[in-house]
Structures are given as C-alpha cells and as structure tokens.
Amino acid sequence: MRLGWAIDRRGARSLLAQGFIVLSIVAVVWFLADNTVANLRALGITTGFGFLQRVTSLAIPNSWLDYTAGVSTYGLAITVGFINTLVVSFIVIVLSTVLGMLIGIARLSPNWLLSRSCHTYVEALRNVPVLLHLLFWYQLLLQLPGPRRALNPVAGVFVSNRGIRYPSLEPDSAHVWIALALLAGAAAAAMLGRLNRVNRERTGKGRRIWPLGLFLVAGPPLLAWQATGAKLAFQVPELAGFDFRGGGALTPELSAVVIGLAIYSSAFVAEIVRAGIIGVPAGQWEAADALGLRKVTTLRKIILPQALRIIVPPITNEYLGIIKNTSLAVAVGYPDLVFVVTTTISYTGQAVEGVAIIMLAFLAISLSVSLFMNWYNARVALVAR
C-alpha cells in the first residue's frame, strides 16, 4: 500500500517537473519571440526569407558559379559562399591529413633529431590560436613584393602580394570527355584491384596487376584525347599593367586560410596518428620483424591498417573541427559562407534568418561527415569471423 503511494507520488512529481520544464521553455521562447517581433517592426525589417530573391551588390571574386555582383541574388551569393566553404574544407582536410600523417610517423622515428623536431613542430603550432595562424599568414602574404617584382619559383608560377598565379589549361568543351574517360578508367582499375583481392583471399594467390591498372587509368583519357582532338594548350599568366592576366589564381585570402588552417590542423592530426600507431601492440612489430618484413612494409601492411581503427573516431572529430574552423575565413575576408551571410546581414538587417542559415548549413555538413565517417569506421572495424 505505502509503496504504491510512494511510486504514485514519485510519478506525479516527475510529471510536475516535466510540465514545469516545458512551460518555462514555452514562456522564454514566447517572451523572446514577442520582443523580436516588436523590435523588427520598430526597425522596419520584414521577417522571412524573401530577401534571398533580391539582387545584391556583394562582390565575390573567382566564383565557381555564374555570379555577377549587381545582377545575381542574395540566394546565389550565399550558395557561392557555401561552395567556397566546402572547397576550402576539402583542401584543408586533404593537406592536413597528408602533412599530419608524415609528422606523426616521423615523431616515432628512432632518430632523435627527427622525432624532436617533429615534437617541437607539434607543440609550437597547436598551442597558438588558429585565428592567429590565419592572420599571421595573411599579413605575411600581403608583405610579398608587388606583381612587377613577383617571385617566380617555378617557370610560369608567380607569387606576389596579389596572390599566387599558375598556368591553367585553355578551356575546351572536349575536356569533359577526357575527365569522364579518366573517371571510368579509375573505376575499372578499382574494380580490378577488388577482384584481385577477392581472388587472393580465396585461392591465396595474387597476380601482379599494376601494369594493367596503370593502363586502365591512363589509356581511356589518352584515347579520348586522340578521338576528340581536344586542345591541350596552357595559359601562362602574363604581367599586364599592374596585375597578371590569364592562368589560374589563388587569392592571398584563400592562400592564407588554406596555409594557416592546414598547418594548425596538421599538428593535431599528427598527434592522433602517433597515438594510433602507439596503440598497436609492440608484438605486431616484433612478429613482422621475425617474419623478415622490412620496416616500411611492416608500417604499411601491418601497423597502419590496425592503427586506422584507433585513428578514425578522433580524426572524425578533427575533420568536423576543421570544417567549423573554415568559418574563420571571415577574419581575412575570404568569401566563405559566414563572410557572405554576415555581409548580407549588414546590408539587409535579416539577422535571425542569416544566423539560422549559417547554423543549418554547418549542422548539415557536420551530420553528413559524421554519417560518412561512421560508415567508414564500420568498414575498417575488426570483423569477427
């Protein structure tokens, strides 16, 4: 009897507490929304996403889409910013992974000088704010000589305070076919590798397939090139007046974001890779040594595949951090999503919608990266047979 009463009382109290939480949240949201509506009315701002259809005068250089300031809409500008965010994230993730992998492995080198230098690199870079890295590289790039006295490290590449200029392919409509042929060839080579692996696991015998694979990757594009007769001419940047013309260009803003973020993140990736390799039991090294495998082969075939299982979860977090850190591009004026949206907010006053767009876009990216990395993690995870 008493017990039942106690349970009832506890249930009632829990219900009461939950009702209280819901009510207080509703009250706070109501209060904020009421204030916001009143404030927006006082400022003469119409709420809603109608402003996305309006024409903007925001200038975005080197856009990936057909974007012209004064003609295109805010919606298109924000799309261009979103693509820029994705592009920068991708470049930084690739660069920092490669650099971090090398430094993480080098930190474990038996050579004292090499491992100490890598240790110093990691400690010096990761204990300084990432924004400081970005600003530092940006002001350094702006201090380079002007286009007339541009540095010319490799023929055709010019480095000046207007950014990096490099030779690019003369655009031709047939290039699409060559790219498609390359893609198809690479897919065929991947299939071949897979078949060979399945076959090796079944029969214990593998074939040497790299000559055929090389042919599959390189053959189709060459054939397509011959068949379509596409031009393969390079556009070399030339000095014209006060700036270069022609060729591809990396603006100082993009270069600063990529260099700063990649160097900063590589220190963290290096630590993750190092922890992953240390996490593999020493017996694996010794067993491979006893079998007569060379160090490099041991690392590539025995240690790294096992270390990958330890590495994937923390590196997923690091990649998500990199994507979020690209939002700092706003500090050096690279037109990423955050830069475009904050400029839009200052032009139109649509603060609530703008911040909502930023948050939704980043939530969407974070969620897709988590899903992809979870799938990859499941793939490399230990399969118990």
Partner 1 sequence: MADSQAPTVLPVAEYLPPPMEKGPVAWATKNLFNSWASTLTTIISVLILGNLAWWFLDWAVFRAVWTLPGSGIADTLACRAEEAGACWAQISEKYRFILFGLYPYLEQWRPALCIVIFIALYFSSADRRLWNWRLSVVWAAGLAAIWVLMRGGFLGLPMVSDDLWGGLPVTLSLATFGIAFAFPLAIVVALGRMSTTSPTARFVCLVYVQLIRGVPLISVLFMASVMFPLFLPEGVTVSNLLRAQVAIIIFAAAYLSEAIRGGLQAVDKGQSEAADSLGLGYWQKMILIVIPQALRVVLPPIVSLCISFFKSTSLVMIIGIFDLLNAAKLSVSEPAWQGFGTEAYLFVAMIYFAFCFAMARYGQGLERRLNASR
36: contact with partner 1 by CB under 8 A: yes
Kindly tell me which of 37 and 223 has the beta carbon lying closer to partner 1: 37
State the sign of the Cα–Cα–Cα–Cα dihedral 327, 328, 333, 334: negative
264 and 133 Cβ atoms separated by less than 8 Å:
yes
294: contact with partner 1 by CB under 8 A: no
State the sign of the Cα–Cα–Cα–Cα dihedral 296, 298, 301, 307: negative
10: contact with partner 1 by CB under 8 A: yes
Q: Applying CB under 8 A, which of residues 6, 27, 38, 381 lies at the interface with partner 1?
A: 38
Kindly tell me which of 21 and 383 has the beta carbon lying closer to partner 1: 21
Among positions 122-141, residues that touch partner 1 (CB under 8 A) are 123-124, 127-132, 135-136, 139-140
From the list 51-59, 97-105, 228-236, 361-369, the region that binds partner 1 by CB under 8 A is 361-369
Q: How far apart are CA 237 and CA 167, in angstroms?
A: 6
From the list 32-40, 238-246, 254-262, 283-291, the region that binds partner 1 by CB under 8 A is 32-40
Q: How far is the CB of 109 from partner 1 (least distance, A)?
A: 7
DSSP states of 302-313: IIHHHHHHHHHH
Q: Applying CB under 8 A, which of residues 7, 8, 9, 14 lies at the interface with partner 1?
A: 14
Q: How far apart are CA 16 and CA 14, in angstroms?
A: 5
Q: Applying CB under 8 A, which of residues 65, 151, 324, 371 lies at the interface with partner 1?
A: 324
Q: How far is the CB of 295 from partner 1 (least distance, A)?
A: 9
143: contact with partner 1 by CB under 8 A: yes
152 and 158 Cβ atoms separated by less than 8 Å:
yes
How many chain residues are in contact with partner 1, going by CB under 8 A? 53
From the list 66-74, 90-98, 112-120, 225-233, the region that binds partner 1 by CB under 8 A is 112-120
Q: Applying CB under 8 A, which of residues 248, 331, 347, 373 lies at the interface with partner 1?
A: 331
52: contact with partner 1 by CB under 8 A: no
285: contact with partner 1 by CB under 8 A: no
Kindly tell me which of 72 and 89 has the beta carbon lying closer to partner 1: 89
DSSP collapsed to 3 states, 120-161? HHHHHHHCCCHHHHHHHHHHHHHCCCCHHHCECCCCCCEEEC
Q: How far is the CB of 291 from partner 1 (least distance, A)?
A: 20
161: contact with partner 1 by CB under 8 A: no
Report the DSSP beta bridge partners of residue 168. 235
**Residue for token digits 């198809």?**
184
Contacts 24+ apart (CB under 8 A), 180-188: 180/224, 181/220, 181/221, 181/223, 181/224, 182/217, 182/220, 182/221, 184/220, 185/216, 185/217, 185/218, 185/219, 185/220, 185/221, 186/216, 186/217, 188/216
307: contact with partner 1 by CB under 8 A: no
244 and 147 Cβ atoms separated by less than 8 Å:
yes
From the list 164-172, 174-182, 277-285, 349-357, the region that binds partner 1 by CB under 8 A is 349-357
371: contact with partner 1 by CB under 8 A: no
Kindly tell me which of 156 and 349 has the beta carbon lying closer to partner 1: 349
Encoded one letter per residue, x for contact with partner 1 by CB under 8 A and - for no contact, window 234-273 reads: ----------------------------------------
* Element of type H or E holding 36: helix 2-43
DSSP collapsed to 3 states, 249-288? EECHHHHHHHHHHHHHHHHHHHHHHHHHHHHCCHHHHHHH
Q: How far is the CB of 30 from partner 1 (least distance, A)?
A: 12
Q: How far is the CB of 352 from partner 1 (least distance, A)?
A: 6
Q: How far apart are CA 258 and CA 260, in angstroms?
A: 6
- What's the gap between Cα 327 and its chain centre? 11
Nearest to 62 by CA among 88, 82, 80: 80
Q: How far apart are CA 277 and CA 288, in angstroms?
A: 15
Q: List interacting residues with partner 1 (CB under 8 A).
A: 10, 14, 17-18, 21-22, 25, 32, 35-36, 38-40, 42, 109-114, 117, 123-124, 127-132, 135-136, 139-140, 143, 324-325, 327-328, 330-331, 338, 342, 345, 351-352, 354-355, 358-359, 362-363, 366-367
